Amino acid sequence: MNTPRILKAALVAGLLLCPACDSPSNGDTANDRGLTDVRSLAGDRPTSDGPGGGPGDGGFRDVASSADLPVLDVNPPPPLDASPAADQADQMDGQMVGPDALVPADPRCTAERPDGPAPFVLPEADCVQGTIRKLRDPRCPGFQPIPTALPGRASRVDLAVVTAVFGHDFVVQDADGEVYAGLWVHNRAGFDTAGLQPGTRLRLEGELLTFFDLEELVVSPGGIDVLGDGPSLPPLELSESARVADLGDLAEALESHLVTLRFERVNNTAPDCPNDFGNFVLDGALWIGRENDYDYAPGRGDRLERVTGVLSVSFDHRKLLPRDASDLEVVTCGGLPDKCPESECPAELGDPESGELVITEIQNDPHGTDVDREFVELYNDGAAELDLDGYWVQDCGGRRADLSGRLAPRGYLVIAGSLDEDVNGGVEADTLLGDLFLPNGGGSVLVFNPQGGLVDQVRYEVRAPWPRRDPGETADLLRADLDNSDPAHWRRGRNSYGPGGEGTPGRAY
């Protein structure tokens, strides 16, 4: 926060975040923090984490363009004697626009999903020297964990077939491998990818590492030999998208593989709220990314007759990345895009803040179960005891936690998912988060006074210019007198407070 605390300095142009602050204190217990007579208000909390980011939102380096997507137009005005009943218009969770407007005429919009291919069975390890699967398959003899930072492990692939090109980077597979046979290639050496296309055969050398959960080969200068062009590899057709989504049993084994899914429904069109990186989510919880662009504005309930792409991962989510418009066949079914509540946040970035309470620490991605182990820390920046009755904390979507009690000057208040330290990961909490939850990828925390005036707000992120944080590490402000709209004033938590993670709940950084 700036001084004086009534107004916050204007945000740096283009900054999409609004952080908060941490401040000095000497005590570790609730009483030492200056908290007295705090009455907690328990509230039911969601059981799911918030959205994260996507491959096209900063997890990768370049974005290419493509042709327009061939969308099947199934919304011509229906004949007067063919209007569906009103109850049919409610089949997409209330997102349909109504029986007298763009109601889907195509029967596929309401048809049962046909049977797909037989469930994929994980084959035995096939550890041939010089192949991608020898590098990646943890079942191979002598396998060692892949480094998570440069220098990576010196590696060679004797024959790799290009399956996709995404800007300067590209994706390859073994010509004959079934699992652990795909690999993202980071073209740090600046090789001209203009001549690469699906089917191009390569010999590769570089350093193997895991970059933000994605296993990739960082090619060395001169480490790409073009062996020639050949037939492109066919995609593996899967029957269930959930198996390659977050926590899916095939997600790791088929990472960077070219796959096809059929007859999938669009479930969520705004998973990155309050940001918009063009991602959407299928019924099976698999994200569809937009590393290469395609002309499709998804609506809830749309049916994908076919979607093909490369399986990838970034910002905590597994994603399928279509290569271009030809990788999607869409039946539009009249659903509307999901509304992003944060697009209508009750406070704008840079709004005046009274500043008597400061948001000083955020734990949005703890070790273990998020719902019980998340917390927010507030600090009384004033010289007098503060009556918290009527204050509340919320996100831009309106989910809130009500506060009460009195907070001593220079005292801390820790608002957590549980008051039980055995459950919340070792946090000495004072009150409950209630309905408020903290998305892993980026989110909002706002504090209001009893008159509805804005006291403080933070829009945290997990990408630059915010400090990089590993799971379990809090976002911790250096000092409460610093401008909390500047991500440079935040640090990642460094001291373990218990099994929940690293940070300083209830005390200064």
| Residue of 285 and 427 predicted with greater confidence | 427
Q: How far is CA 311 from CA 117, 184, 283, 421, in A?
A: 19, 10, 16, 38
- Give the model's pLDDT for residue 98: 33
Pick the range with the lowest mean pLDDT from 20-29, 36-45, 212-221: 36-45
- Percent of the chain with pLDDT strictly greater than 90: 60
Q: Choose between 98 and 505: higher pLDDT.
A: 505
Superfamily of domain 35-52+343-502: Lamin Tail domain (2.60.40.1260)
Interstrand relation of 201-211 and 357-363 (parallel, antiparallel or unpaired):
unpaired
What six digits make up the tokens of 15? 């900054």
Largest Cα–Cα distance of the chain, in whole Å?
76
Task: State which amino acid sits at residue 176.
Answer: D
Confidence band for 340, pLDDT divided at 50, 70 and 90: low
Stronger pLDDT, 465 or 130, i.e. the higher one: 130
pLDDT of residue 284: 85
How sure is the predictor about 238, in pLDDT bands with cuts at 50, 70 and 90? very high
Among the residue ranges 89-98, 193-202, 425-434, the one predicted with the least confidence is 89-98
pLDDT in tens, 130-140: 999 999 999 99
Which residues belong to CATH 2.60.40.1260 in the chain?
A: 35-52+343-502
Average pLDDT of span 64-77:
39
Query: pLDDT confidence of 339, banded at 50, 70, 90?
Result: low
- Mean pLDDT taken over the chain: 81
Q: Which of 104-113, 144-153, 255-264 has the highest mean pLDDT?
A: 255-264
Instruction: Using the predicted structure, report yes or no on whether residue 293 has a pLDDT greater than 80.
Output: yes
Question: Lowest-confidence range among 57-66, 255-264, 369-378, 491-500?
Answer: 57-66
Which residue from 430, 418, 421 is spatially nearest to 377, judged by alpha carbons?
Answer: 430
Residues of the chain with CATH 2.40.50.140: 132-228
Mean pLDDT calculated for residue range 191-206: 96
The least confident of 140-144, 345-349, 388-392 is 345-349
Report the C-alpha gap between 136 and 507 in whole angstroms: 43
336 pLDDT band (50/70/90 cuts)?
confident
Mean predicted confidence (pLDDT) in 269-280: 83
Q: Is the confidence at residue 86, as pLDDT, over 60? A: no
Q: How confident is the model at residue 268 (pLDDT cuts 50, 70, 90)?
A: confident
pLDDT of residue 195: 92
Is the model's pLDDT at 265 over the cut of 60? yes
* pLDDT band per the 50, 70, 90 thresholds, residue 370: confident
| Beta strand segments in 234-391, E | 236-237, 258-268, 280-282, 287-288, 303-314, 317-321, 328-331, 357-363, 375-380, 386-387
Select from 373, 382, 383, 396 the least CA-distant residue to 448: 396
Torsion of CA 16, 17, 18, 22, to 10 degrees: -160
Which amino acid makes up residue 63?
V
Question: Are 146 and 210 contacting, i.e. CB atoms less than 8 angstroms apart?
Answer: yes
What is the average per-residue pLDDT within 311-332? Answer: 95
Written as six digits, the tokens of 158 are 């004797």
pTM, full prediction:
0.54
Residues in a beta bridge with 502: 473, 496
Asked: is 132-228 a CATH 2.40.50.140 domain? The reply is yes
As a whole number, mean pLDDT of residues 189-197 equals 91
- pLDDT band for position 491 (cuts 50, 70, 90): very high
Give the confidence band of 177 by pLDDT, cuts at 50, 70, 90.
confident
What pLDDT does residue 15 have? 34
The pLDDT score that the predictor gives to residue 101 is: 37
> What was the pLDDT predicted at 246?
93
Q: Which of 65-74, 398-407, 460-469 has the lowest mean pLDDT?
A: 65-74
- SS in 3 state form for 205-237? EEEEEEECCEEEEEEEEEEEEEEECCCCCCCEE
Tell me if residue 242 falls in helix, strand or coil.
helix
Q: Considering only 86-95, 109-118, 130-139, 459-468, which range has the smallest mean pLDDT? A: 86-95
Q: What percent of the chain has pLDDT above 70?
A: 78
Judge whether residue 464 has pLDDT over 80: no
| pLDDT in the model for residue 342 | 55
- Res. 105 pLDDT band, cuts 50 70 90: low
Task: Answer with the residue of higher pLDDT: 349 or 426.
Answer: 426
Residue 444 or residue 204, greater confidence: 204
pLDDT value of position 219: 96
